[in-house]
Structure 1
Amino acid sequence: MTVKVLLIGNGAREHSIAEAVRNSPQNPSLFSYIKSNNPGIRSLSKHSEIGEYDDLAKVTNFANQVKPDFCVIGPEAPLDLGVVDSLARVGIPSIGPTKELAKLETSKSFTRLLMEKYNIPGLPEFKVFTSMDGVKEFLYSLDSFVVKPDGLTGGKGVKVHGEHLEGTEDALKYCEEVLKTHPSVIVEERLEGEEFSLQSFTDGKFVL
């Protein structure tokens, strides 16, 4: 029986995933749900559906028509919206975290507060602000700082002192700007060192 894979996402990352799926020796059938037209992904898919990520009913209906063995979600936005939860309710497993678990990626305040609660090493000095009250005082208490909007920003929201922000006044203006469009802003001490990402696959018990 041919394996069916449903891919959600339409960026370069998802195009690479689509190519990897199609190059599998198992020769699976690929279906895709994309936010906007991507000729590369569509050419690799048996069928593509174009729709918004927040239209969970449409995503689920398309998945029910395809009846995939599993779904692969590339972008953070559908994960934040709960697409894994919606698919699970109709019996379709996904490679991707539930909405609650995705908060580790989608909410910087959630992750910092979780690290604080369980004393996880590597936590910088930080505070989460929902208004400008106390922001100036905390900024002045830090030698160097980073300002982060709480939520998804497409990798363009974090501003670093000395690189994007010249000083405290710049940081204050940016915090005000962030709070106009985000529920909260995180101000934390700047950490020195090499930035890296570590990713793994897990079923909740084992890590690959």
Structure 2
Amino acid sequence: MNILLIGSGGREHALAWKLAQSPELTRLYAAPGNPGIADHADIVALDVADHGAVTDFCRDREIGLVVVGPEVPLVAGLVDDLGIAGIRVFGPTKAAAQLEGSKVFTKELCAEYGIPTARHQSFNSAGSAKAYIRAEGAPIVVKADGLAAGKGVTVAASIEEAEAAVDALFAEAGDAEATVVIEECMVGEEASLFCLVDGETVISLGGAQDHKRVFDGDEGPNTGGMGAYSPAPVLTPELEARAIDEIVKPTARAMSKLGIPFRGVLYAGLMLTREGPKLIEYNVRFGDPECQVLMPRLASDLLPLLVATADGRLDGVTAEWRDVAAITVVMAARGYPGTAPKGSEIRGVDTVTRDGVKIFHAGTKREGDRLLAWGGRVLNVTATAPTLREARDAAYAAVDTIDWPEGFCRKDIGWRALG
């Protein structure tokens, strides 16, 4: 089977690496790809925002499955347009992708179907949002309604910080278009749960924990993710089962009832509270960098799982896992999550040959023999080992061999589980 993978980040490199191992794969293409993905796939110059061009490419190359990695093409309706052309796609339709594309949509769905989540209100004006904040008090959470690359959330410790976050979101979006969601600040530990969903059938892909804050000790602003590990000990089998039964399955049933069945991977960000797991928010694709720790642990062939999801046949497949721990450390360009300069040279990546260590490219570019940083999050140094401590030590040993003065990373990935 010929496969087209959409995306260019570390998540897509991990997916390409895993798909390339499938005996059912004939040829793997990637658009736009990156230098790491190029080790496993043919990179094609394709504007993924041009759905007609993607459709024509799929027809010309007899693509049997399109795998959409990032959220933007999903929210833009790429799955819908390919489906109209009769092309099989792994990923939700535009309407189903509202679970990530609109926090208001998801919160209203949770309220209607009794899915546990934080108390909340949504607002279309800064004045009413700030009045609600003053009435509720702090700590309190301020979220942008739409896509924000993991950075549109402020957990405000004070009313002043919350009001400043509201002003910033309205200024960025424009007062006529902005919608913000104000939530109670739930107390507990966060975990991520991934499930394949083909309408109403749900298969768990297990859990992970990521590290959103940019600096050690969970300090600084939120990012797209500075590292992750899997499995997450805090997400016990009992809590995972509750999250699936009380959150994921009711969501899948609700979406089908609304006439917009969800097919793809549903990523539930969970808060593990005293009352049980509650939904923080949904993503409608593999997490980044969580995908980079899930794929090395997956013993099953990924390709049949994706095909079964797209075809609505999940009730006939299972996912098997390696009994190992995995951890990934994100190396980012200094300045991230703000503006990070491009073009600094990275040396030593190709010399990392430790067993159980894989480096996934997230924001790189090749110029001749030189590897350059070309984004905020640039490399994902991933290691697997029998224990999380061994995996962490292997990952950081590999980080230390990479020569990139303009880069940085957190030094405490995995601290929750290891503490």
Tell me which residue corresponds to 1:21.
19
**AA at the equivalent of 1:174:** A
Contact 2:143 2:180 in 1 (8 A): yes
Deviates more, 1:174-183 or 1:89-98: 174-183
Q: CA deviation at 1:203?
A: 1.8
Which structure 1 segments of 5+ residues have no match?
Answer: none
Counterpart mapping for 1:1-208 below 5 A? 3-34=1-32, 38-51=34-47, 53-120=48-115, 122-143=116-137, 144-162=139-157, 167-182=158-173, 183-208=178-203
**8 Å contact from structure 2 (residues 5, 29) kept in 1:** yes
> In the aligned structure 2, how far is the partner of 1:95 from the partner of 1:11?
17
RMSD of the alignment, in Å? 1.6
Once residues 118 and 207 of structure 1 are traced to their aligned partners in structure 2, the CA distance between those partners, rounded to angstroms, is 18
Is there any run of 5+ residues in structure 2 with no aligned partner, and where? 204-419
Residue identity in the other structure for 2:45? E
| Number of matched pairs | 198
State how far apart, in whole Å, the 2-side matches of 1:134 and 1:202 are: 37
Contact 2:46 2:54 in 1 (8 A): no
The one-character-per-residue Cα deviations of 1:95-149 (angstroms, maximum 9, x if unpaired) are 11111111111211111111112222x2222111111232222112324210001
CA contact (8 A) 2:110 2:117 kept: yes
Q: Is the 8 A contact 1:15 1:41 kept in 2?
A: yes
Letter in 1 for 2:55: T
Distance in 2 (CA, whole Å) between partners of 1:69 and 1:7 is 11
**Residue 109 of structure 1: SS of its match in structure 2?**
helix
CA distance in 1, matches of 2:130, 2:43: 53
Check whether the contact 1:149–1:157 (CA below 8 A) recurs between aligned residues.
yes
Deviates more, 1:174-183 or 1:146-155: 174-183
More displaced, 83-92 or 134-143? 134-143
TM value normalised by structure 2: 0.45
Offset of 1:47 from its aligned partner? 4.7
Q: Is the 8 A contact 1:69 1:93 kept in 2?
A: yes
SS in structure 1 at match of 2:31: strand
Aligned residue number for residue 303 of structure 2: none
List per-residue Cα deviations over 1:152-194 (Å, max 9, x = no partner). Answer: 11111111023xxxx2122112212212333211111100111
Provide the rounded CA distance (Å) in 1 between the counterparts of 2:198 and 2:90: 9
In structure 1, distance between residues paired with 2:153 and 2:123: 15
The amino acid across from 1:150 in the alignment is D
Maintained 8 Å contact 1:175/1:185: yes
1:84 deviates by 0.5
**CA–CA distance in 2 between the matches of 1:39 and 1:161?**
39
CA contact (8 A) 1:22 1:28 kept: no
Residues 145, 187 of structure 1: 8 Å contact kept = yes
Post-superposition CA distance 1:15-41 (Å, at most 9, x none) = 11111111112243101121xx51122
User: Any idea what SS the aligned residue of 2:67 has?
Assistant: strand
Q: Which has the higher strand share?
A: 2
